[in-house]
Amino acid sequence: MSFRSTLILVRFLLTFINRRVFGRGILRSKTAKTAAIAIALTAFVGYGLLTVVVVRQYFDAEIVEILLLSGGAATPFWVLIAYTIVRVLFLKADQLTQLTFMLPATNRERTLAFAIFEALMVVGASLITFGAFIIAAATISGFSIIWRAVAAIFFPTILCYLLFSIVYLGVERLVITIGAGRLRGLIIPFLFAAALVGMFTLANSQSQEMLQGYLSGQPYFIPQLGFLKIADSAGPALAVLVFLILLLALGTLVLVAAPKDYEPVKQHYRVLSGKLASSQLGLHLLALVRSFETLIVLLFATLATAGIAILKIEIPPYVLLFVTFQGVYAFANSEPIRRATPAVQGAVASYLNLVTAQAIVLLVVAVPAVAVSTWLGIGIQHSALAIGFSACNILLSTLVGILFPADNGNPFSVVVGVVLVFAIVAMVAMGLNIFSLPVAINVAVVVLLSVAVVAYSIVGINRIERIRRYEIVA
Amino acid sequence: MKLLRNIGIAITVGFIVTAATATLSMIFTMFAEGSELGRRLTFFDGLFFEVRDGANGAIQMGFGVHDFTPIVLFFVISSVSVFAFLVALNFLRGYRAKLIDERAS
């Protein structure tokens, strides 16, 4: 195993990000890049200030301590959520992985190089999520809270991430051994989804045990809060030492668990009749439904609906949102359709096919989800609102996929696009909330913004297609 | 068509900038003024932020629109600025292309 080869791969991926993520789509322009950085910074500053205001307004040192302990106890649960999302994104990046085959690197070196990027995403997300809270908490409880947050949240986060990586790679090895390696795109997310249910139950019981122990002064033991206990009783140096030893041990196990050979993931499954391919809409529907990531979210939505029905959880059918995020891949996935058709397809027709295919999938999932919600006593107006949100989300995620095309299924374009669009949507939503406009005007504004999203998507497709046909030069 | 596109972009960006600036102004006022009781105005006196005593000694926060005029004015000025920027950008791009053509011929 050579770390030099890993570094070469990391440099290769950085070059890919620079050229294919920041050098294509809307981010090609310097003005757009500057605007994107400004939007991200503005949103983060706003989020940070709001967190500080809320924490200082409503919390005292004791509540901050309880929140810190609860956050630490729940670490495995939310790290597993983040890991599952990142894993599905990287499983989709099969073509990107295949680009590295010409480089002199083994599969373990490749695994390590990709793991570095995955870890950067998870650590970045943790810093953004908890950073503002920790800074706010420091203004109440003093700077010692920063160290306590590192021991209670960041150390367990990193170790949980490595632990899940070992489990993932172990399962990958197992499925490759039994000859089902190509199906791991479906098998592994399901195992993680099942693990999430167990982890949710565990996190709930651990949080209750911790709260009861904290309030009554009784001793309690939660492994993920072990570093905090060690730091409190024996000093931070020992906690850091234990963390480093575990980090080294788990890091080595990750490398040992990585399979020696790479096996591509099966990207499409034969679902629905091929006869649908006789029309453009049918082709787009097949491209959407047959891809493995759509099947994953469809099954997640079905399981969630079944879980809601069995446990009788009275919530509107927001599980529909699951199936609306596929829009980020819709444009890139339908690229072969546009290239294979001899006649030039107009941008409006292309766009309508993209969103109609997604709307059909949404409606099919909506029927049982709304039926379950109605059976549980949720008003039809709440279900209609959830469907409306989901429809808007289809338009937004399709726009993300056009402005930030996920070439070779790379996850970096998706993450950059989703973060930027989420920042804009969050600011607009908060602005509308502050303006406290009548409901009818709010609905009108949302409809107008959706029209703008559709218009920009069509203009984007038109421009990209004209560039591909050499009608204009980028 | 290009004019229509520029107007569309200007209105959309103007709306997003107005909503984002209003949100940030409100958050910054909440951050700077703390939890002292009373009503404060922000965003060119277009928005208000209020802290008042609630039940059981708790503090209640509220916010909303004090006067729509500055908000609408801000939206119009933002949109017009973006439109002017786009028109200037298009003009400069066209001028650059013309210079390149002239030098080539």
Per-residue pLDDT tens digits for B36-77: 778 888 888 888 888 877 766 667 777 888 888 999 999 999
Judgement on whether residues A260 and A305 belong to the same structural domain of the protein = no
Q: Mutate one of B27, B43, B71 to test the A interface: name it (highest A CB count within 10 A).
A: B27
Average pLDDT over residues A299-319: 88
Test B30 with A53 for CB contact under 8 angstroms: yes
Judgement on whether residues A144 and A260 belong to the same structural domain of the protein = yes
A422-456 pLDDT per residue, tens: 988 888 888 888 888 888 888 888 898 899 999 99
* Chain A residues close to B31, C-beta within 8 Å: 49, 52-53
Average pLDDT over residues A191-197: 85
Cβ count within 10 A of residue B88: 10
For residue A290, what is the DSSP state?
T
Given a cut of 80, whether residue A408 has pLDDT beyond it is no
Judgement on whether residues A358 and A340 belong to the same structural domain of the protein = yes
Judgement on whether residues A280 and A235 belong to the same structural domain of the protein = no
Domain assignment present for A421: no
- Reported as a pLDDT band with limits 50, 70 and 90, residue A109 is confident
* Chain B residues close to A432, C-beta within 8 Å: 19
In angstroms, the Cα distances linking A225 to A68, A157, A236, A339 are 10, 11, 13, 54
Test B23 with A427 for CB contact under 8 angstroms: yes
* Chain A residues close to B71, C-beta within 8 Å: 435
Lowest mean pLDDT among A67-76, A116-125, B22-31: A116-125
Domain assignment present for A430: no
Domain assignment of residue A75, given as a range: 1-266
Test B16 with A53 for CB contact under 8 angstroms: no
Backbone angles phi, psi at A340, to 5 degrees: -80, -25
Judgement on whether residues A258 and A305 belong to the same structural domain of the protein = no
The pLDDT of residue A457 is 93
Judgement on whether residues A306 and A455 belong to the same structural domain of the protein = yes
Domain assignment present for A93: yes
Domain assignment present for A416: no
Average pLDDT over residues A61-82: 85
A385-407 pLDDT per residue, tens: 999 999 999 999 999 999 888 87
Average pLDDT over residues A198-207: 84
CA-nearest residue to A57 within chain B is: B35
Number of separate domains in chain B: 1
- Average pLDDT of every residue of chain A: 86
CB contacts < 8 A, A to B, total 65
Number of separate domains in chain A: 2
- For the record, the structure tokens of A239 come out as 């906690």
- Reported as a pLDDT band with limits 50, 70 and 90, residue A247 is very high
Judgement on whether residues A341 and A442 belong to the same structural domain of the protein = yes
Q: Which of A266, A287, A321 is the last residue before a domain boundary?
A: A266
Domain assignment of residue B31, given as a range: 2-104
CA of A299 vs chain B CAs: smallest distance (Å): 36
Judgement on whether residues A257 and A333 belong to the same structural domain of the protein = no
Judgement on whether residues A190 and A215 belong to the same structural domain of the protein = yes
Average pLDDT over residues B72-92: 93
* CA–CA dist A341, A252 (Å, integer): 50
* CA–CA dist A168, A172 (Å, integer): 6
Domain assignment present for A410: no
A135-149, A210-224, A260-274, B67-81: range with highest mean pLDDT:
B67-81
Q: Which of A218, A241, A266 is the last residue before a domain boundary?
A: A266
Q: What is the ipTM of this complex?
A: 0.79
Cβ atoms of B83 and B6 within 8 Å: the answer is yes
Given a cut of 70, whether residue A54 has pLDDT beyond it is yes
Given a cut of 70, whether residue A272 has pLDDT beyond it is yes
Domain assignment present for A418: no
Test B20 with A56 for CB contact under 8 angstroms: no
Q: Where are the beta strands (DSSP E) in A186-252?
A: none
Q: Mutate one of A29, A34, A41, A53 to test the B interface: name it (highest B CB count within 10 A).
A: A53
Test A57 with B59 for CB contact under 8 angstroms: yes
Q: Which of B8, B16, B61 sits opposite A428 (nearest CB)?
A: B16
Q: Mutate one of B18, B23, B48 to test the A interface: name it (highest A CB count within 10 A).
A: B23
Judgement on whether residues A195 and A215 belong to the same structural domain of the protein = yes
Judgement on whether residues A262 and A275 belong to the same structural domain of the protein = no
The pLDDT of residue B55 is 67
- Cβ of B91 under 8 Å from any chain A Cβ? no
CA of B76 vs chain A CAs: smallest distance (Å): 16
Judgement on whether residues A250 and A298 belong to the same structural domain of the protein = no
Q: Which of A210, A238, A266 is the last residue before a domain boundary?
A: A266
Number of H helices, E strands in chain B: 2, 3
Test A42 with B20 for CB contact under 8 angstroms: yes
